[in-house]
Structure 1
Amino acid sequence: MNGEVINKNTTITTLEIANMLEMKHYKILEKLEGTKDGKTKGVIETLTHHDFVVSDYFIPSTYKDDSGKENKCYKVTRMGCEFLANKFTGEKGIVFTALYVKRFHDMEQALKKSRQAIPEKESLEHYGIVEKPDSGKWFNKNNWKLKIICDRFKWTRKFLYHKILVELSDLHNLELVEKLYTVAYGHKPEYKLNLLDYSEELAETATRYVNYLLIEE
């Protein structure tokens, strides 16, 4: 896993950028998307118009505020930060550049340190790591089973997911698989059960457990 791959997969959010610049988050979004009145064109529209791959710079995402409401934000790559830094002049631009460069450096050092602690070849082979996981594949395939199990035992989905995670933790090193995932994609999985689409070994264990619950009387 070379430095180029780590750089490409490592991002910070527009929320972090707003904090670095001491600006309101919506102001950063206006830089990217333009103003709602259409008077100011956004960076993303311009990149799209000139056939640039926008996701090389800015990746749509969401976050939840204190009330639990889901709001828009963007994940920003190092190239995206370089792009934004050129939009701010004077002291603000200098400070932002210094902060994002240090932020990416710290993240990359943490990823390299994590990678060095992992017996990569053996781990990848043992856990059947999928290079490009199909997000939601395991749940789409097994959702009908999960519904039957919840109905039968009067469990909530949350409780059933907890049971699956306990079973996986008993039989596998989930912490190690999560580290492998983080090294590969530059961030932790949003939910631990997302690892089922990343590791064939975990997916097989989860399927066996769900099948056992399905036939248990």
Structure 2
Amino acid sequence: MAIAGPLEHVAERIERTITAQQRVATACAGSIVAAAEVVSGAFRAGNRLLLCGNGGSAADSQHVAAEFVSRLYREQDRPALPALALTTDTSFLTAYSNDVGFAGVFARQVEAHGRPGDVLMVISTSGRSDNVLRAADAARRRSMRVIALLAADARLAREADVAIVVPVRDTQVAQECFLTVEHLLCELVERELFSPES
């Protein structure tokens, strides 16, 4: 079997991502809209969005929170929206992980920051990370809604109020699809809350 050259590899890889994005458009559009409605409703009621995930999903959590607090479109002059990534406080993350354990690192922050009516968005390619599952459990105990952005139909997909399950097995491609979903979520929320018709 011949190994493809760099140009062929690039073309094949981009084609794989395009195909995956098309599958996301078909399989996930309804759940993306549902998630945007949950987040819009929470913001409209004066509640917050908390986000968490591990590794690349931790970075995604920060990215989404930044889009809501700042704004997705530079031209959009709007108030800041209260979103908080639970992946950024290195003093807490290292202290709690060292002293207590990593499994509760997000749940503890949900207990500190989450209020009834808030939303927790968990981002996970596997949907099986113990610390993410515990965060979702903590959110439900606090009467929060849970949105799960996943690349696997794991337990979390069945327990979330809204599950966006990207139908992609390749982790890298799934993460690329996550970014599209995340930007769409921000865009739909901004349209719902700040468009002239809203």
Say which structure is richer in helix: 1
TM normalised by structure 2 equals 0.31
Query: RCO higher in 1 or 2 (8 Å CA, sep ≥ 6)?
Result: 2
**TM-score w.r.t. length of structure 1:** 0.29
Structure that is richer in strand per residue? 2
